[in-house]
Amino acid sequence: MHRMFPRLAALVAVAALAACGGGSRGAQTPAPTPIDTPEPQIVIAAGQPLTIGVSAALSGEQAALGNDIADAAELAVIDAGRTFKGHTLQVSRKDDGCADAEKAAAVARAFVKDRTLAGVVGPMCTTGAQAANSIYAQAQVVHISPSATRIDLASPDDHFFFRTAWRDDFQSQVQAAYAVNGLRAATAIVVDDAQPYGKALGDAFVAAFEGLGGRVSSRERVDRGQADFAAMARQVKSAAPDVLVFEGLNPEGVLLAKALHDAGYAGAFMAPDGVLSQRDFVVAGGPAAEGALITGGANPDEAFVNRFRDNFKRAPGTTFVLQAHDAVSVLLAALNAAATQGAGGSLVIDRVKLADALRAQSFAGLTGPIQFGDDGDRTGDRPSALGLTIYRVTNGQFQALP
């Protein structure tokens, strides 16, 4: 077990997860601009750098997350020694606006014109990925999202899309498996916040839990901004499910946990990464938070935090830094397998072979073992292989379960 580092754990997860996970289903996605037929190979002449792009929000309300992702990608390049087969490695950062579809598409069009580009870490958020992914795919540019978790982003038709982040339905499957196998839960009540992120998680949990033989005795919904959960808590106590699963964000998550505690509910409380906040769940919940089970990404260890601080004069303050570091690391490992030396000291990278190398290899990532499936998503039969960790609140701290 390890403890959450206070600065990272104190983040407000609401904005980051709403943007990167559920996203906006009503946003207008611009039609991709046709591009020239891509060159089948990337050729980096002697003396030219090899570029890794980062598509993230570098300004606006999501800038803290975007800059953490960009810095984590930079740290991976630093950890790799800043060179690759005799070429300088450099990171090119572009502001994709997170949920700004036009901006993310413009960033993609700019990146695919860069003849030194090996691949892109990003887009950061769901709406941006929806707008940009087809542009990268047409250009045969590997793009690895460290933070967009919505289910329908991956497609077997996009041979060049990958993500080191987990997928929302995988998170629900991890929750359901632990409820059945870890808690021995036979019954559950599922509550979501009626938003795309929470609803998708709730739907996936119900399917997974029932598929494992569990029974969902009630499916409930709350409104964002709702503050009074006393009546719902009394109903839950009366129904006495083995586990209450809340799929959504804080403050609703912590307010529901407190109401359940006050009502005397004796079952387990489970929630997703949108609730994973030391400040907004553990501290705000007090005794009501004790014993809660929260799923989310792996937490940086002390060595990572120290390296990050040494290079950027601050500790990481948001989630997804490990996923961004892993995105660069797996790209470099695949490049090592796919790149060949050309004439005059040039570096030649076959675009399709690079994507194939990402799928063919297994990687030891900071977020766990990484193996990509045909659709570019992580695969595996353990939470860590999917990029996920199950935490239990113990003595006022998130502690990872083995």
- Amino acid code (one letter) for 163: R
* pLDDT at residue 318, as a whole number: 87
Coil/strand/helix, residue 233? helix
* pLDDT at residue 157, as a whole number: 80
- CA atoms of 189 and 237, how far apart (whole Å): 11
- pLDDT, tens digit (0-9, with 9 covering 90-100), for 141-181: 999 999 999 998 988 789 999 999 999 999 999 999 999 99
Which residues does 152 contact at the CB level (< 8 Å), separation at least 6? Answer: none
Q: Which residues of the chain have pLDDT under 50?
A: 1-19, 22-34
- CA atoms of 94 and 215, how far apart (whole Å): 47
* pLDDT at residue 341, as a whole number: 92
CATH architecture for segment(s) 22-166+301-381: 3-Layer(aba) Sandwich (3.40)
Which residues does 375 contact at the CB level (< 8 Å), separation at least 6? Answer: 154, 155, 156, 158, 161
Task: Tell me the CATH class for 169-296.
Answer: alpha beta
Provide Rg for the chain, Cα atoms.
Answer: 21
* pLDDT at residue 156, as a whole number: 76
Q: What angle, rounded to 10 degrees, do the helices at 126-139 and 101-112 form? A: 30
- H or E element in which residue 88 lies: strand 87-95
- pLDDT, tens digit (0-9, with 9 covering 90-100), for 72-83: 999 999 999 999
What residue segments make up the domains of the chain, in order of their start?
22-166+301-381, 169-296
Stated pTM of the model = 0.89
User: Residue 107 CA to chain centroid, in angstroms?
Assistant: 20
Nearest-5° Cα angle at 141, 332 to 169: 85
Q: Does 22-166+301-381 match 169-296 in CATH topology? A: yes
